[in-house]
Amino acid sequence: MKENLVAVPPNNDVAIVILAGGRSSRMKGKNKTLMKLAGKRLIDYAIQRVTQWGKYVALNVNSDLEVFKGYNLPVITDTVGGYLGPLAGILSAMEWAEEVGCSRVLTVAADTPFFPQTLGPTLDSYSLDYEIVMAATENEFGELERHPTFCIWPVGLKDDLYQDLMKGTRKIVSWSDQFKIKNVKFSRDKLVDPFFNINTKKDLIEAESILRGDRI
């Protein structure tokens, strides 16, 4: 799989946060976003893509903080404790975006190295007409599959999110569907799922195969 970066217009009203704060339980606690794919850390792929979309980029992490600080990007940890899942990272992203003066924040997952290079601008093109804009693809059965960590959120929803987290809400789509939401469908490559994410060593081997272009 050849990497072809494309130029996209930046939008400095949308902050960008790469979510890398999970517990990586299937990697035996090792932060999977620091694992290498074709000589680069998984998080490097995300950073390479999103830094072309705007000037406000941060990393949401909860471990290996000194390693991540080496990227010279703001490092934000979950502002609510207890590893409450990706919604906690999204809350922290909203709070940080507000601090830097942005009205919206785009979140992307750090364990998904092939996500579309035009994802940010494409989602942003809908964000003035909807409260939440979420990436989606169509599966082999023609059904819509949503990718809720790839989403643009208005920072004005942070108080609602905090309250629902405290009430026990954990699933992103369960929380987001109460608002005006747009699911933006991205096309699948015949060989590569752009939202293929790496959770296990087997997934890492498959990603290596995708990059080599020998996947059938």
Q: What local confidence, expressed as pLDDT, does residue 208 receive?
A: 92
- pLDDT of 64 strictly over 70: yes
- pLDDT of 164 strictly over 70: yes
* Predicted structure pTM score: 0.91
Of 27, 37, 33, which Cα lies nearest the Cα of 71?
Answer: 33
Distance separating alpha carbons of residues 118 and 96, to the nearest angstrom: 23
pLDDT in tens, 102-143: 999 999 999 999 999 999 999 999 999 999 999 999 988 889
Distance separating alpha carbons of residues 216 and 213, to the nearest angstrom: 9
Q: What local confidence, expressed as pLDDT, does residue 83 receive?
A: 82
- pLDDT of 214 strictly over 60: yes
Predicted confidence band at 171 (pLDDT cuts at 50, 70, 90)? Answer: very high
Helix (H, G, I), strand (E, B) or coil at 38: coil
Tell me the fold of 14-212. Answer: Spore Coat Polysaccharide Biosynthesis Protein SpsA; Chain A (3.90.550)
pLDDT in tens, 183-197: 999 998 766 889 999
Domain ranges of the chain: 14-212
In this predicted structure, which of 11-15, 17-21, 74-78, 86-90 has the lowest mean pLDDT? 11-15
Mean residue pLDDT across the chain: 89
Of 10, 44, 25, 150, which Cα lies nearest the Cα of 89?
Answer: 150
Question: Which 3-state string (H, E, C) describes 153-215?
Answer: EEHHHHHHHHHHHHCCCCCHHHHHCCCCEEEEECCCCCCCCCCCCCCCHHHHHHHHHHHHCCC
Q: What local confidence, expressed as pLDDT, does residue 215 receive?
A: 52
Of 178, 175, 180, which Cα lies nearest the Cα of 129?
Answer: 180
Helix %, strand %, coil % of the chain (to 5) = 30, 20, 45
- pLDDT of 91 strictly over 50: yes
